[in-house]
Structure 1
Amino acid sequence: MRTGTYKESYSQLTALTDNPAVWLWACALIGALVVVPSIANAYVLSLASTVCITALGVLGLNLLSGVAGQISLGHAAFLLIGAYAHAILMTDYGVNGFASILVSGFIAALVSLVVGIPSLRLKGLYLAITTLAFTFIAQHVVLYAEDITRGSAGMSVVPLDLLGFEFASEQRFFYVALGFLVLFVLITLNLMRTRIGRAWLALRDHDIAARAMGINLTRYKLLAFMVSAFYGGVAGALIAAHTRYVNVDTFGVLVSIEALAMIIVGGLGRTHGAILGAALIVLLPEVLRVAFAVLGSDVQALMADRIYEIRGMMYGVVILLFLRLEPEGLAGIWRKSKRFWTQWPLSQ
């Protein structure tokens, strides 16, 4: 019987997986997602693209907060910077869309040093408040720099194109969002196998012991901020490319709180947990809408009038349920389910 824990060589310890079934199921999942545009309407594809983009951004926050242990409430600021950088580069300077997305990520990574360097000696609640303040600073900078960002009026964004081939439709853009998500998932999984990933885990578990082992805390904290901001900047650029319009109100503090909720619900420090958590939180309003539609028109009218209050309340309920019943999140449920069926019928 396969236990999944016995390794015979160092290469097996550092491999993404030594189980061919994992690769088979991963390829099957990607193959199924590739054919979604041929069977789904524009609304479903828009939701699917939103899930992919959100999951990409949450992966970055998961590296910072879930893996490196640096609690941040400023992830919305990096999304904001990435979105506006992409809009300005494409609209004002005519930079190629895909190059602009990556450049936007690098810009967000550089700006992250503004909050990363002063926060080197902070941890816990103090770090969270500092990153929260950075979000407000970024929003006000965008509002006051009207000559560059158009201020509160926002900016329109031209559609992505590659060699004259536009990705304006939902069907085409879904492949862009899915491609970026798959790419960054592979980057994340490989990053966790390196010295950087192991140093972040040591930093999270016990920073004093990590320092005693020779890990440069300053370097790896700043690197965690920069990598997380890069993911956020790329996700923000994709949001701008998807909605074709950016406004400072889109990236409020609630976005950072929702992102933190996603990694808690999905499972802190787990790559697949970040994806599952993002999918659950993004699709939760749709699940509520369908559930209320079944209950009748009166309940639908109530939801229409109190949609934001009900959504916020459900976010809180979901987080509390997971913290109380399954602290490891959806990743923990997945792990336990997989172990049960792997050992069936000897499971207990």
Structure 2
Amino acid sequence: MRSGYFKERYGELIVLTDSPTVKAWTVVLVAALVAAPLLLSNYLLSHMTIILFTLVGVLGLTVLTGFTGLISLGHVGFLMLGGYTYAIGVTRLGLPPELALVLSAVVPAVFGLIVGIPSLRLHGLYLAITTLAFSYIVSASILGGGSFTGAGRGIQIARPTLVGIDLSGDRAFYWFCLFMAVLAMLATLNFRRSYIGRALVAIRDNDIAARTMGINLVRFKLLAFLVSAALTGLAGALMGMYLSFISVESYPFLLSIEALAIIIVGGLGSVLGAVLGTVFIVTLPDLFSAVMSMLGGRLNELLTTSAHEIKSVLYGLAIIGFLRFDPRGLRGIWHDIRHAWVYWPLRY
């Protein structure tokens, strides 16, 4: 009798899923996401768009921190590089939007290699501080770049027409972000299942043992930084298109904390966790705002005047809460619910 986990061929071990139920629900979910702009209000459509391009950046951090175990506090630097590369390429250099979008991944990837070099000897807090310093260097360089980078004034950009598709409308831009998010998810899932992905996980679990097994730590750590920075830079370009304006203030340090909160709350090293964590963390401030609006009074005034600080507090509480009560994150909770449903009433 098939137990649900027994595999007969090697292909079944590496396939993303062999469950007809999962495939059916995936089709339903994708169809619902594609049809969402036709049913949602402008506010909800904007919220969904934010979730999608945030997910692309979170997947980049998942490769670095979730798969490889290298902690980064400066991923906002790669976001800035991606956004400014696209903006400068389109407005200053006159590049086609398609080429500028590709460069928004390539340029951060190159800088990812540069930042990744210290990771060969640094671990933990020391590496985190190094990446944090990198983000401040990027910010200072942009502010000192004069008219070329826009300095403190920023750069105004318009949503482009890519491969003949006009993205100026909110619906078209949502569908484009959905396409990029699905593409990033598939790339990350297959990257994790490859030899490279398994090597990164081995480095995360025990780098000494990984070296003993013949894994080149230099090569794979630098590769993790490269892939992570490329995805994050792409997310920065999408964010710039969404805002239609690029400035240093558009990429605050809080975004790095938000990304860390997402992968911790969702579940470290999991693409599903990245998705669940992104939806939860991006929606959390709006839910809190709705509750405060219902209560009214001084709490609602506080939310208006201290939104940035309240976001920081919410992210901190989410991180502490999940680390204390369920370190597996939302992914672990989801698996418990799924197993309880599948094996009911024989679970216990």
- TM category (shorter chain) comes to over 0.9
Judge which range, 302-311 or 39-48, deviates more.
Answer: 302-311
CA distance in 2, matches of 1:298, 1:145: 43
Cα deviation, residue 328, structure 1 = 0.5
Query: Structure 2 matches for 1:118-133, cutoff 5 A?
Result: 118-133=118-133
Question: Comparing 172-181 with 300-309, which one deviates more in the overlay?
Answer: 300-309
Q: Is the CA contact 2:45–2:174 (under 8 Å) kept in the aligned structure 1?
A: yes
CA drift of 1:303 comes to: 1.8
Q: Post-superposition shift, 1:186?
A: 0.5
In structure 2, the partner of 1:54 is: 54
Question: Is the CA contact (8 Å cut-off) linking 1:96 and 1:161 kept in structure 2?
Answer: no
Match of 2:33 in 1: 33
Whether 2:342 is the aligned partner of 1:335: answer no
| 1:97-136 equivalence runs, <5 A | 97-136=97-136
CA distance in 1, matches of 2:303, 2:240: 28
Q: Would you say the 8 A contact 1:58–1:263 is kept in 2?
A: yes
CA distance in 1, matches of 2:112, 2:134: 10
SS at match of 1:252: coil
CA RMSD across the alignment: 1.4
- The aligned counterpart of 2:264 is 264
User: What is the TM-score of this pair, normalised by structure 2?
Assistant: 0.97
Give the equivalent residue in structure 2 for 1:24.
24
Q: Which letter maps to 2:4?
A: G
Give 1:289's aligned residue: 289
User: For the structure 1 residues 160 and 3, does the alpha-carbon distance in structure 2 shift closer, same or farther, using more than 3 Å as the test?
Assistant: farther
2:14 aligned partner: 14
CA distance in 2, matches of 1:176, 1:81: 21
| Structure 2 contact 254–312 (Cα < 8 Å) conserved | no
For 1:164-313, list aligned pairs within 5 A: 164-313=164-313
> Which residue does the alignment assign to 1:86?
86
Aligned-pair distance for 1:335?
Answer: 0.9
Cα deviations across residues 14-60 of structure 1 (Å, max 9, x unaligned)? 11111121111111101001111111122211111110011110001
> Identity of aligned pairs, percent?
45
Tell me the distance in 2 between the aligned counterparts of 1:211 and 1:78: 29
Distance 1:115 1:302, change over 3 A: same
For residue 320 of structure 1, give the secondary structure of its aligned residue in structure 2: helix
SS in 2 for 1:17: coil
Q: Is the 8 A contact 1:267 1:332 kept in 2?
A: yes
Q: 1:4 to 1:124 in 2, by over 3 A?
A: farther
- Residue deviations 1:192-225, cap 9 Å, x none? 1110000001000000000000000000000000
Do the aligned residues in 2 keep the contact of 1:42 with 1:171 (CA within 8 Å)? no
Do the aligned partners of 2:113 and 2:223 also contact (CA within 8 Å) in 1? no
SS in 2 for 1:185: helix
How many equivalent pairs are there?
A: 348
Could you list the runs of 5+ residues in structure 2 that have no partner in the other structure? none
Of the structure 1 ranges 207-216 and 92-101, higher mean CA displacement relative to structure 2 is found in: 92-101
Once residues 223 and 194 of structure 1 are traced to their aligned partners in structure 2, the CA distance between those partners, rounded to angstroms, is 13
